[in-house]
Amino acid sequence: MNKIISFCVLFSFVLVSCTPGNGITLPPDLTLVPGTDIPQQVATYIANALTQPVASSIASNPYSATATPLPGSAAGSSSPTPTVVAASQILYPSSLLGIQFSYPSAWYRQETSDGVFLSSFDPSNPPHKLEWGYDTTSMQFGFKVFITPPGSFDDWVESERQTAYSNQLTISEEERFSIATQPAYRLSLVSGSGGVINKILVEINGRYLEINLEGNYNNNLARAVLNSIQPFTISGIKPADSVTPASGVCGDAISDPVNITLGLDASGLPLAGRCVAIHPSQRIRLINQANGPFAIKFAEYIINLPVGGDLLIDQPIGQYLALGVHFLPMGPVLWVKDSSPVSTITPTPIMTSPQRMTYDVTLADNGKTFYMKIGDELRISLDNAYIWSMASISDPNVLAGAQAGYFAFANGTATLTMIGNPECLNLNPPCGQPSIVFTIIAIVQTDPPPVSTITPIPIMTLPQHVTYEVTLADNGKTFYMKVGDELRIYLDNTYIWSLASISDPNVLGGAQAGYFAFANGTSTLTMIGNPECLNLTPPCGMPSIFFTITAIVQ
């Protein structure tokens, strides 16, 4: 029974939804400390937090907690700690935890198997605990796992106290306050080695939530995150207020996220214009330039935005607003619309040679040179006893591809290097078989190449491949292609274009202005164009352009 109580009270990161009074099923990947009911991963996390000494800069600034009475409580005086909300925030909804909260946009967020992790530092390169300063904070959000839920919130708090004492932890501070109008409690736990962790307890929507905070609890940033917590429940997508907006007043939003300024000008019109058209996949950032704070419920979100602050809703707008027109106080009308136009582009043949060639490459070709023409392919089939991964391509403008197929895009020389790790390397214990470095060189040129040691094999079964000439007017269009066809992209030269993403590089791949169809399937290509004047001092206010096309290869 003591093991069960210890598991229920002290370790709080396992992400399992539970309702008071109901039984609970532990996740299948939950590993327990041998001989206990304590999750192994959680026990390690707590141990690490409490065995590392805190920084002297924090220890030298002790904080005396102020008791804040609970709603309905008659005891105590209320002296809320003032908070400073960072100007740039991200609003994050967690339907699994049933809460939303805001955090500084410069922080890092990770969804983990235990819940949600926030930190003011890069978790892949964390500072040593002795280097933590006033603004160094990490927060772990998760549900409390109960075998037998407590009878009340106060019973839960008392259990936490007793378990801390039984585990030889010192409670240096206690604080009673509220989160989202619900009773909350903080215990500051200190180990014998000086490690400190703040455990925050709260019950929201009948579910017990714990927030474990390391670093300086009393800095304004960490407390502001706690103050921003609100219940969040997805009850469906908000219906549109209207089907279409008034004609002639709606402009297309291109960037992601879409910046929307809140506030009215002297004539009473929205500062951001009357209407903005947004694709369901885009996100929005609200910027408050009104004369006062912005506090509304928008769809399922509770938004509190101070004057001069900005808030990114970190979710595509189509996940909470239905297609159609939605009204935003002190802002433009939001027209959420989706369009999938059919391509009207007539393909133009560009093949001048009777066929393109493929070169079958095996492990025996390691170190060889291949002389190719634009459009030729290297098809690589290496030893299956190794797990192969791409290491580098010296010039992806000359040669690029994915998996086992690499195409020649432009004249030049490119060296392709792959690394093969033996499969037995993943065994326990791993084998001592060495890895293999595989390298070949591709020389792409228009003139007839010198005699190659590799015999090319024709792979064209159609009389010719075709190219599609794509311009800015084709934004949003769909192109129907065959393997080997090319998209040649010619966009507005007043913008500096860069590739944002290709949804499936196994289907479509390339570089610069040429993209080839590699295999059957669907792939969406997205590019971003920044105006050249953006690099001037001061930069211009001309917006960037979001360019997207879809290739269906069949």
39 pLDDT band, cuts 50/70/90, is very low
Which pLDDT belongs to residue 52? 54
Ranking 59-63, 76-80, 81-85, 395-399 by mean pLDDT, the lowest is 59-63
Q: How confident is the model at residue 49 (pLDDT cuts 50, 70, 90)?
A: low
In percent, the amount of the chain with pLDDT more than 90 equals 1
- Higher-scoring residue by pLDDT: 54, 502: 502
What is the mean pLDDT of the segment spanning 375-400?
A: 81
- Does residue 355 carry a pLDDT above 70? no
Looking at per-residue confidence, does 543 or 213 come out higher? 213
Q: At the top level of CATH, which class does the domain 250-336 belong to?
A: mainly beta
Listed in sequence order, the residues at least 6 apart from 383 whose beta carbon sits closer than 8 Å to its beta carbon are 363, 420, 436
Instruction: Tell me which CATH code domain 466-553 carries.
Output: 2.60.40.2020
Looking at domain 356-458, which of 1.10.10.410, 2.170.130.10, 2.60.120.10, 2.60.40.2020 is its CATH number? Answer: 2.60.40.2020
Q: What is the 3-state secondary structure (H, E, C) of 1-37?
A: CHHHHHHHHCCCCCCCCCCCCCCCCCCCCCCECCCCC
Residues 465 and 482: their CA atoms lie apart, in Å, by 8
Judged against a pLDDT cut of 60, whether residue 42 lies above it is answered with no
More confident residue, 548 or 39: 548
pLDDT at 83: 40
| Helix 153-166 vs helix 2-9: crossing angle, to nearest 10 | 110
Residue spans of the domains in the chain: they are 2-75+109-218, 250-336, 356-458, 466-553
The reply to whether 466-553 shares the fold of 250-336 is: yes
What is the pLDDT, as a whole number, of residue 491? 82
Who has greater pLDDT, 80 or 536? 536
Taking the C-alpha atoms of residue 310 and residue 307, their distance in angstroms, rounded to an integer, is 9
Of residues 44 and 209, the one with the higher pLDDT is: 209
How sure is the predictor about 402, in pLDDT bands with cuts at 50, 70 and 90?
Answer: low
Residue 307 has pLDDT above 50, yes or no: yes
Enter the pTM of the model: 0.48
Beta-carbon count within 10 A of 182 CB: 16
pLDDT attached to residue 77: 32
- pLDDT value of position 339: 60
3-state secondary structure of 548: strand
Q: What is the mean pLDDT of the chain?
A: 74
Local structure of 240: helix, strand or coil: coil
Range of weakest confidence among 115-124, 145-154, 458-467, 520-529: 458-467
Average pLDDT score over residue span 300-304: 83
Over residues 411-444, the pLDDT tens digits come to 889 898 888 888 777 677 777 778 888 889 999 8
Residue 418 in contact with residue 318, Cβ under 8 Å? no
- Residue 502's pLDDT is 83
Q: Map residue 468 onto helix, strand or coil.
A: strand
Q: What is the pLDDT of residues 448-505, one digit of tens each?
A: 445 545 555 444 343 467 788 888 888 888 888 888 788 888 887 778 888 878 888 7
Residue 26 reports pLDDT greater than 50: no
Comparing 340 with 180, which gets the higher pLDDT? 180
Percent of the chain at pLDDT above 70? 74
- pLDDT at site 47: 53
With a cut of 50, say whether residue 33 has pLDDT above it: no
* Residue 114 pLDDT greater than 50, yes or no: yes
Structure confidence at residue 270 as a pLDDT band (50, 70, 90)? confident
Q: Kindly state the average pLDDT of the residues 269-281.
A: 85
Q: What are phi and psi of 525, to 5 degrees?
A: -105, 130
Q: Average pLDDT in the 171-175 region?
A: 89
Cβ-Cβ contacts under 8 Å for 50 (sequence gap 6 or more): 169, 189, 190, 191, 193, 195, 196, 197
pLDDT of residue 13: 35
Is residue 326 over pLDDT 70? yes
Return the SS3 of 196: strand
- Provide mean pLDDT across the span 342-354: 46
Provide the pLDDT confidence category of residue 17 given band limits of 50, 70 and 90: very low
Q: Which of 13-22, 179-188, 381-390 has the lowest mean pLDDT?
A: 13-22
d(CA 31, CA 441): 49
- The CA radius of gyration of the chain, in Å to the nearest whole number, is 30
Give the model's pLDDT for residue 82. Answer: 38
b/e code 69-93 from CB counts within 10 Å (16+ = b): ebeeeeeeeeeeeebebbeebbbbb
Question: Tell me, what's the pLDDT at 323?
Answer: 87
